[in-house]
Amino acid sequence: MGMASYALASRDCQAQDTIVEINTSHKKIFIGEGYCTVIAGPCAVEGIEEYLAIARILQTSGVHVLRGGVFKPRTSPYSFKGLGSEGLKIISEARDITGLPVITEIMDVRDLDLLYENVDVLQIGSRNMQNFTLLEEVGKIDKPVMLKRGLSATIEEWLLAAEYILSGGNRRVILCERGIRTFEHFTRNTVDIGAVALLKQLSHLPIIVDPSHATGRWKMVSPIARAAVAAGADGIMVEVHQNPDQALSDGKQSLTPQNFDKMFKKIIQLAELDGKIIQ
């Protein structure tokens, strides 16, 4: 692996760490070296009352960015696939009420204009990591993009996917480790904590970890989140739901607000020990 393969993402091209700035009407949020950014919310937006309630709870906890899927890629075509544009209105209202920036997944280039107007960070999910047409299109916009690692992607393939976005002119790219597929069946995926430390050497881009999708088990989320921060991750993204047993998507890996609050406090303590800025 050399500079030629992923030149713009490489530290050979840029030694200084990239800090991605997210502007909101209330404050600026930074993702990158020296900060610990926590992104949280339900896997999917299920209804206006439920989402606004969890958004207010998370705001009180101190969360920096709200997550919520409106277009959901599901393995089964019969699973809940999100509320679409109606869900987008809900997360936009949550942003207005809480003042927190919001992140949601983009699956189709045809939705780009609609999402661009209503969200602060666009997420490229693991199944679309090598959707090169989509990568090229988000490379043309001036909005942060979070690029999740593909199901079985090598680190070089992941960085090359980031290169597609960077080469289009969008330098506000955030990497997200969310576990890779291995022979192990006791967890949903196998989280690659070592990738965090390695990417800090190879690339200047911020990296966060999603312990919810990485493990698929809510009891593992807190220890893996702490391990990620200890390894040098710039933040974490976790799923939180008032009633995980009733969640329409990924309930088994979702934390209750109470369990999230406990984890959040531990994450902040760990980040402070490492000298990170708590926003």
Query: Mean pLDDT over residues 135-163, rounded?
Result: 97
Q: How many helices (H) and strands (E) does the chain have?
A: 9, 10
Per-residue confidence (pLDDT) for residue 26, from 0 to 100: 76
* Cα separations in angstroms, 168 against 9, 158, 176, 184: 12, 16, 20, 37
Q: Hey, where are the domains in the chain?
A: 26-273
CA distance 55 to 250: 18
Per-residue confidence (pLDDT) for residue 1, from 0 to 100: 43
**Beta pairing partners, 168:** none
Give the residue among 270, 251, 243 at the shortest CA–CA distance from 212: 251
State the pLDDT confidence band at 4, using cuts at 50, 70 and 90.
low
Query: How far is residue 217 CA from its own chain's centroid?
Result: 18
Give the residue among 205, 125, 197 at the shortest CA–CA distance from 163: 205
Tokens in use for 263? 């984890």
pLDDT at 168 over 50: yes
Q: Sign of the C-alpha dihedral, residues 55, 95, 102, 14?
A: negative
Q: Sign of the C-alpha dihedral, residues 117, 119, 124, 125?
A: negative
CA distance 58 to 35: 19
Query: Mean pLDDT over residues 152-167, rounded?
Result: 97
Q: How far apart are the first and last CA of the chain?
A: 35
Per-residue confidence (pLDDT) for residue 34, from 0 to 100: 96
pLDDT at 203 over 60: yes
pLDDT tens per residue across span 67-100: 999 987 767 877 777 788 889 999 999 999 999 9
Query: Mean pLDDT over residues 156-176, rounded?
Result: 98
State the pLDDT confidence band at 260, using cuts at 50, 70 and 90.
very high
pLDDT at 2 over 50: no
The letter for the amino acid at 241 is H
Domain 26-273 has CATH 3.20.20.70: yes
Average pLDDT, the chain: 94
Q: Yes or no: say if 77 and 59 are a contact pair by the CB < 8 Å rule.
A: no
Global pTM reads 0.95
Burial of 136 (0-12, 13-18, 19+ CB in 10 A): middle
**Rg, Å, the chain Cα set:** 17
pLDDT tens per residue across span 210-239: 999 999 999 999 999 999 999 999 999 999
